[in-house]
Amino acid sequence: MKVTDTSDLWWKTAVVYNLDVETYLDWNDDGVGDFEGLAHRIDYLAELGVTCLWLAPFYPSPQKDNGYDITDYYGVDPRYGHLGDVVEVFRTAKDRGIRIIVDLVVNHTSDQHPWFREALKGKDNPYRDYYRWRDTPPKNQKENAFPDTEDGTWFLDEKSGQYYRHSFYRHQPDLNTANPVVRDEIAKIIGFWFQLGVDGFRVDAVPYLLDDDTPDDPYDFLRTVRRYVGRRSGTGMLLGEVNLPHHEQFGFFGAEDGDGLTMQFDFVTNQALYLALAREDARPIATSLQSRPVLASSNQWGNFVRNHDELNLNQLSEEERQFVFEKFAPEESMRLHGRGIRRRLPPLIDSDPRRLAMVYSLIFSLPGAPVLYYGEEIGMGENLDLSGRESVRSPMQWSDQENGGFSSAPKRKLVTAVTEGGFGPEYVNAAQQRHADSSLFTFIRTLVQAYRNSPEIGWGEFALLEQPHDAVLAHSLRTDTGHLVALHNLGSEAHTVPITLERIEPESRVVDLFHDHVLQPDGKGQLEVPLDGYGHRWFRVVRPGDKRLT
């Protein structure tokens, strides 16, 4: 991928916001969110400071898996509008300086997709090899992604007597991405959406996408896709879902060359965050950050608190996972697939505003780009009355009006139920928080601006700072022109934190970015920083003569 200057690497310092059109805003009041409604909320996202909007699948689908079971990669589910509405959202977002990425779901299709319907007609059908088939399933087949729902990954097509593979639900047959014709189809999909104006793709279930493709070089397909993205869009990006240990993720980036995925979500640090919160001990986060490989300059991590699936804890040990379960999901109904929690953050920590602020401050300060899931900015809770992963996919809460301002349709017509109780829209909504100085929305907006004013976070050299408190994470990020320091206390006890700042010039000042405080290190760069229980502080080291605003 040809890069002309650092501005081409916009994802290095992006603020990403993920939403599902069907649950964001219903403009025509039929009970389902739509693109016209989203168009009317682009200014809200711009006000928050979002620079990249990630849209969950909006393609035609039987909706058996939240739209991830696709029947047409080139269309729009008619419930949400049509391509004209999509392009209008793209245009409006671009006018506000917001880039767009969409889901690329090419590990599988719906079993209702025309390709699979053709494949079922017989072994000689030209679409048969679009999918993976066997006469008998392997004896030691890989575990299904939903082991408590699906028995294995191969399902019998009784008409032909052959089995097709499905890494996920049986109604989602796996595409044979080793087939050059399928790869050409994927390239056409990518090219189509680039032509309509997207800036990149969130690539779904990447390890499953590459499985069995090219045993000698399993990442060859990713490199091919990355090169194609570079040809079609010099600034296009690929944000991959790869829930693996850091050393295994490195290959998906393209290792030292960085010619694979552009970005990846850091699932390891995400899971370490919840272990750290449960223990009130920052060391799991520090250990995770130290295990990150050094990336090529064009690559980046995506840091997140929550996403649209269960809070997956599969990278933790069994003992660690059970500890987090007992702390944050004590009831079996709060857990899913034996590995995850189907709750949002605020209810886990009893909506403690100190802990909420500390967590989001931490995520925004870590090296990488922050990724927000809709409703996080106002502290939405989950709806455990909904099944499975749907618990965290309830409609966006815009106001304290009927249905949270999401829709004026009768409740029975809503695409999914609005959360009720203490986290319902009468208590948690965007309208109230946008005008409250002490609200979570206002704090997140402040964080977004601080992040966007701190290129060190996306570009800087990361270092953990030594200090004696297990509950505290202290780290620095520095470039040739900037030096940022952040401290976060995951425990309830206040501390005075001694740190030493290396390589700072004499007479440099240390300016608090959220408060009107200036600290003066001694001649050895040493400071003692007061830190409240669940406290957080960001500092910029200001060199003599530095004219940068702080």
Active site residues: 204, 241
| Torsion angle (degrees, nearest 10) of CA 343, 349, 354, 359 | -50
- The CB-side HSE value for 410 (13 A sphere, CA atoms) comes to 2
What is the spatial distance between Cα 463 and Cα 500, in angstroms, rounded to a whole number? 12
Question: What phi-psi label fits residue 390: left (phi over 0), alpha (psi between -120 and 50 degrees) or beta?
Answer: alpha
Q: Which strands form 162-165's sheet, in the order they lie side by side?
A: 133-134, 162-165, 154-157
144, 266, 424, 550 from 445: Cα distances, Å:
40, 23, 22, 16
Neighbours of 435 (CB within 10 A): 9
Contact 275, 314 (CB under 8 A): no
List the Cα angle 373/439/475 in 5-degree steps: 65
Residue with tokens 């929550």: 306
As given in the structure block, the two tokens for residue 208 are: 């499953």
Can you say how many angstroms the Cα of residue 324 is from the centroid of all Cα atoms in its chain? 21
What pairing do the DSSP bridges indicate for beta strands 526-531 and 536-542?
unpaired
What is the spatial distance between Cα 138 and Cα 155, in angstroms, rounded to a whole number? 12
Greatest Cα pair distance in the chain: 80
As given in the structure block, the two tokens for residue 274 are: 């919840």
Contact 93, 86 (CB under 8 A): no
What is the spatial distance between Cα 253 and Cα 259, in angstroms, rounded to a whole number? 7
Give strand pairing partners of 510.
Answer: 519, 541
Contact 367, 457 (CB under 8 A): yes
Neighbours of 295 (CB within 10 A): 20
Using only the alpha carbons of the chain, give its radius of gyration: 24
As given in the structure block, the two tokens for residue 10 are: 């916009």
Contact 450, 411 (CB under 8 A): no
Report how many helices (DSSP H) and strands (DSSP E) the chain contains, helices first: 16, 22
What is the spatial distance between Cα 495 and Cα 349, in angstroms, rounded to a whole number? 21
Q: What share of the chain is helix, strand, coil (3-state, %, to 5)?
A: 35, 20, 50
Can you say how many angstroms the Cα of residue 319 is from the centroid of all Cα atoms in its chain? 26
